[in-house]
Each structure stands twice: as structure tokens, then as C-alpha cells.
Amino acid sequence: MRQSLVVGNWKMNGSYEANRSLINGIKQNIASVKNSEMAVCPPFVYLSQMKRLLKDTNIGWGAQNVSQQEPGAFTGEIAIGMLVDFDCKYVIVGHSERRSLYGESDELIAEKFATVQAAGLIPILCIGELLEEREAGNTEAVVKRQLDAVLNSQGVASLEKSVIAYEPVWAIGTGKTATPQQAQDVHAFIRGQISALDAKVAEKVQILYGGSVKGSNAKELFAMPDIDGGLIGGASLKADDFLAIGQAG
Ligand code: PEP
């Protein structure tokens, strides 16, 4: 049985005060979440606030990105050691917004994945197709290419200590969720690709679904055999919604 995991991706949202009230709201009712591990990924500058507010809880925290470089002359970048300093457990790599808005390639994302793992943190590798890729019947080819970039450079064993998030780009922030069956089909495909290389790793790796997950649709999605929780954008900014998603795990 894989542990259900629900991770909030706050994107570029939040403020010191808003975060405090959101985290307090989550902490107040976290006992209502019985079966999911919960984690939040705020903007970098709020990681110290998370460390302070969450240190005595079972809620984890992580970052939304990291540099693949060693510390040095890289203005505006964040090195992995800095995320270690703030006790991050997770680092999201390859979110579709990083791929599309900041030109991150499959190869760069594989480097970031390796950087996170080498420091003992858990990468959450995001993969997923654009609407036109789905409509052209290329969903499997796209997620295979994105997954292969990591498999070919890091090997299948690297996935054992990682999380994969399948996020169809057309479902992110659009209110348009993949149907549970659409999501399950791609999750099963991803697990099958891994299984062809190592059945034990495939059985173990958590594959989250992301794309307009809400309290009202999480249960159906998470009931699918290959969906092990969610990566949540908009709905992770409201304590009640985020908790309702956690309760669905
Ligand atoms: C995301 O940003 O990873 C995401 C899934 O966003 P939303 O839940 O808002 O679609």
C-alpha cells in the first residue's frame, strides 16, 4: 500500500500574515486528515516561516524549484544547500510553468532532480502534456520523453526516493480536471514504464495527480489504483479545501 501524499504548491502567492493564518487553519484541523501525508511548498522566502510554524507538526514543507549549480555567481538563484538549511523535505522540479515560462528543458530538469537527490531531499518530478499534444494523441509519448530524461541519466533506482506528479497542462489552474479514468490511464502508463525496468520501484513510487483538484473531486481521483495523492495549486491556498483534499486520501 502506498502512502497517500497531498502537496500544496503555493506558486508565487502568500504573505507573512496570509501564510500564518493559512497554516494555523491547516494545523487546527489536521487531525481530520487520517490517511494522507501533507506538505506545503511556499515561495523560497517563506521557508524559514514554515520551519518555525511547522516544526512540531507532521506537516512537511518544500521548495518549488532549485538551481542545479553549486553555490557561486548565479544571481537570483537558490542552491540546494540553502534548502537543506531550512529543513525542506521536498523540492518540486519541472513544473509546467518552469518548463513553459522559463524554458526549462527535460535535461535541465533531470539535473535538478539529481541535485535534489544528492542532497538527500525528495524531488517531486512534474510531467504532463499540453492540450494540443493530448488532442494529437501524443500524451504517452510526451510523458515518456519527460520521464526518460530522468531514467536515462539517473537510472530507475533513483525513482525509489522520489515522487512523480502527473499534471496535464490543460488542467492546471483552468478548473478543467482530467476525469479519474483519464488520469488513471496515464498513471498506469507511467507505472508500467517504470515497471518494465524495475517492478519493485514501480510498486513503491508515489504518483500524484495535479490539475484543478478540489475537495469536491479529490475522492474520485484518489480512489483510482495508480493515483497516490495530489499536487494542489489553487485549492492549497484555502485551509478548508486543502484539508478536504487531504481527507480524500
Ligand atoms: C499546480 O500548480 O501544480 C496545480 C496543479 O495547480 P491547480 O491545482 O491550481 O490546477
**What pLDDT, on a 0 to 100 scale, did the predictor assign at position 175?**
87
Task: Kindly state the percentage of the chain with pLDDT values over 70.
Answer: 100
- HEC states along 155-180? CHHHHHHCEEEECCHHHCCCCCCCCH
Instruction: Reply yes or no on whether the pLDDT at 90 is more than 90.
Output: yes
Q: Residue 37: what residue type?
A: E
Domain of residue 181: give its range: 4-247
- pLDDT digits over 193-235, tens only? 999 999 999 999 999 999 999 999 999 999 999 999 999 999 9
220 is catalytic: no
Domain count of the fold of the chain = 1
Q: Rounded to the nearest whole angstrom, what is the distance from the C-alpha of residue 72 to the centroid of ligand 1?
A: 32
**Could you confirm whether 187 is annotated as catalytic?**
no
CA distance 163 to 185: 18
- pTM check: above 0.95: yes
From the list 111, 129, 167, 187, the catalytic residue is: 167
**What spacing in Å lies between the alpha carbon of 179 and ligand 1's midpoint?**
15
| Structure confidence by residue, pLDDT tens digits, 99-139 | 999 999 999 999 999 999 999 999 999 999 999 999 999 99
The answer, yes or no, to whether residue 1 has pLDDT greater than 90, is: no
Read off the CATH number of the domain in which 185 is found. 3.20.20.70
pLDDT in tens, 45-70: 999 999 999 999 999 999 999 999 99
Q: Which of 206, 106, 103 is nearest to 152 (CA)?
A: 106
> Is 188 in contact with 227 (CB distance < 8 Å)?
no
Residue nearest to atom 6 of ligand 1 (CA): 233
Give me the pLDDT at residue 132, please: 96
Report which secondary-structure segment, H or E, holds 6.
Answer: strand 4-9
Alpha carbon distance 41, 4 (integer Å):
17
Helices (H), the chain: 16-28, 47-54, 80-85, 96-101, 106-118, 131-135, 139-154, 180-195, 199-204, 218-222, 239-247
In a 3-state reduction of DSSP, which class is residue 150?
A: helix
- As a whole number of angstroms, the distance between CA 232 and CA 41 comes to 10
Cβ of residue 241 lying under 6 Å from some atom of ligand 1: no
In the block, residue with C-alpha cell 537510472: 155
Q: Give the model confidence (pLDDT) of 134-192 as tens digits.
A: 999 999 999 999 999 999 999 999 999 999 999 999 999 898 889 999 999 999 999 99
